[in-house]
Structures are given as C-alpha cells and as structure tokens.
Structure 1
C-alpha cells in the first residue's frame, strides 16, 4: 500500500506505524505516538536507530545513559524542534507531562552510535525554490547535518498554494556519484487556520515499467510510501500550509542523499 490514510496503520500505542514488513522494503520506518498528559511510552529499538521528534508538545527521552529533555513545540508550523537520537539495541522511555504527539523516525542499521541531543538552534534551515515553488526545508537529520548510521530525515513546510518536491526526482538506483538508492516515507500534516481542515496532493509516478504510480489527496496524519519512482510535486491547498516529514534510508555503504531530477521538467524551480 503506497498511500497510507490516517487510521489505516494503527498498531497498539501507535497512531501510525510503518515498518519494513508493512512497506515491503528493508530499512525505513516511522511511528507516531500520541501521549495523554502524564503519559509514558516504552519501546525497544531492536536492530534500528531512531530519532524522537516532537510534532506537538514536550517530552523526556530516557536511555541507559541518562535523560534527554526535549522542549518540543506547539505545532509543526510554529518552528523547528529539538530532538533525540537513540541507538539500536536499547530500551527507551518517552514521557510527557503535558502530553503531545511524537514521531519516531527509524532505520535498520549496523553501527550502534551513542544517544545524543539535537538542538533546535543548530538545525540548518534552507529556503529552497522561488515563487510558487518556494518552501522551507529543516535539515535536522540530513546526511551532512547530523550523524546517523543509515537514517536521513528532514522536514519541509510548503506555503499554501505552493508546490514542493519539484521538479520530480528519484533515488531508486545505485549510481555512484549520481544517485543513491533510498526508501522514503512522507508523513503529512496540513495547517488548519480557524479550525478549517485543509488538504494537499502527492504525486509519485513510474521511473520504470511497473513502477509506483499514485496521486493521493493527503490530510493530517496521512503518509505516502516511495519505494521507487519519480516523486513530486507535493501540492498545498491555498490558505493551508503543508508539512511533511521525510524519512529515508537505503543499502548504500555511504549515507548520502543523491537524487536525479526528471529530464522533462525545468530544473530552475528546484
């Protein structure tokens, strides 16, 4: 299932749980856990590294090495959040005094790196594109911003009416120096000014015969899986900014984000 509507991938405490078995691939994973005030959630990291990223609210992340305090944020649209990296083969507890919603972005990995705190002010924020293709990219765990074994994760804010993930691009082949093979998850939230819910659209189309082909209307809590193919644009409804969390990982020996743009689209908009 490439399009994952809200509520279709609930698993125990997780409002959304996408693991390699469900996705039909090997590395990339995403969970979203919602905690009531005073709530706690414990999990074992297994063979994967994880980043705990507040979507709304603050929390503490307890590891064998101590407690990491995350200030979090009011919402994904209010700004960049701090985050916690936790290693494979560990027992983790997340606790939130006021409650909140927290993303767990993961990737199956080999190396066991130390647990670490990621500071919000140190997250590189990139303003990419221009005009109707302008968007904000928060590179909190991009390949060149934060050390992980395989996991790559970034956030994107697309203003209402704009396109992002454009021109369409792909990363489904290993071509040294040109393209890296990466499995990718898009998790969406749509701004709701005045309480009016919004929507967006996500396009994925084949890069080879029989490849992934989907045009999905997306709303808060939905996800789209990109095992292969050209993906983009991501389109935000006018008046409603679109947020998406990208989680990526792949088999390459080097942790790198190398993409190939579709030759039939103007690269000047990227």
Structure 2
C-alpha cells in the first residue's frame, strides 16, 4: 500500500482513537483477568498506539520498516517484562492481537476505508511480540541455569589456607568450567595453598568425569595450590580401576575429613621445612 494510504489509516486511527482503544483495552483486561492493573495496561497501550500511528504517518507498512523502530522497541520491552513476571505467551501476545477488536468496530462508526492492511500489520505485531517473548524467556532460562550452576558449585573455606569444593550431581563440561572459575577466584581471594575437591555427592565417575576433575586439579596447580580429591567410595574406586583411569600423582582420600587432615599435616611439614 502506498505511503499516502498508510497515512490515511493513521488519520483514521487518530480520529477514532477513543473507540478503538476502549474496545482494545476491554478485550485485553478480560483476557488477563486482573493480572496487571488497568492503569498499567492503559500506559502500555498508549505507548504502542502512539508509536503505531507515528510509524503509519511516516509511511511504514511492515513491522520491519524503519518507521516502526520505536514500536518494535516498545513491544520488545513489554515482552521482556511479561516474561520476567511469569506471563504466558498467549497473555503477552493478546495485548497486541486484541487491537483488532477496536478495528472491527470502525465500520459501525461509518468508516468505509478498507482497514485490511492494518489488520495484517497487527498480525505482524502480534507475531513479533510472541517472538520477542520467546527470546526473552530463553534468556531468562539461560541466566537462571547459570545461577543454579554457581549455587551448585560452592567453594568454602574450611580452614586457614584450605578451601573445599563439595560436588553434588553430574559433572559436565559447563559445570566444570564454573568449578574452575569459582575455585581459582577463591584461591586468589583467600591465598589458600590447598584445595579439596570432594566428590562424595557425585553418583558415578566415568572417563569423562575423570577428565573434568583432572582439568580442575591442573588449573588449581597452575595457581600454586595442591589439590586432593576426596569422597572416593569403594564403588567409585572399583569403577576407576576397571576403566583404567589414572590420576597420576594427584592425592586421593576416602573422605573429606581425611583430606582435611592430610592438608593440615602437609601445611605443618611445609612450615617446618621453611623454618629449618
């Protein structure tokens, strides 16, 4: 549709703004059933409506056109806010699709201009809103997953110069990276010379898990800290032997307590050597 025609549709929306917006907000409020206040809906609606009219006046025809840059930004912000507040995709998209309720009523007000291009544009706006919501929710899931990884891999100072990483659950590549970063940062912050990696809560140790543990130990050693792997239960010991996994000169202990005692003894021997 030529820009002049789109500007004509913008004028129709401006002339019948009250009726269009009234039908629009009523449809949205009925769908959301009080999940957000009417005042908040009116503010969002006013921003979307004004940006839509401005884009039409500037000759915009499709949602991707430059005149609708501001409108896309508003819809993205609304979608992200809805995603963080736990709204469903339907509840988010209806905020745009319900604009059709206002457009359908234009003929009853004596408007004879074909508003089909506007209806198509609303469909595009609704789809853009849905896609923005999906992208925002995916980003939230990734962010929450990273936070859970950090929470599930704490590094605690259990004695002066000794820190421990109690691992629970499966140890994969992503989690290993978090363990490394957290452990190395803690070694620097505390100045600890000993690190204990406790795998009591790791259900099974295979070749891949062993490789992840070795990488973590090597990273800690590069920072000048000696590492001990504790929590080697009989079943895990048998599995390690059966798989032919070699821990080399890495110290291993059956329990976290044994590893702590070993670290403290090593610390005293080091101190005695220095003093001698």
Interval of TM-score (by shorter of Structure 1 and Structure 2): under 0.3
When you count strand as a share of all residues, which structure comes out higher? Answer: 1
Q: Which has the higher contact order (CA 8 A, sep 6+)?
A: 1
> Normalising by the residue count of structure 2, what TM-score does the alignment of the two structures yield?
0.21
When you count helix as a share of all residues, which structure comes out higher? Answer: 2
Tell which structure's C-alpha radius of gyration is larger. 2
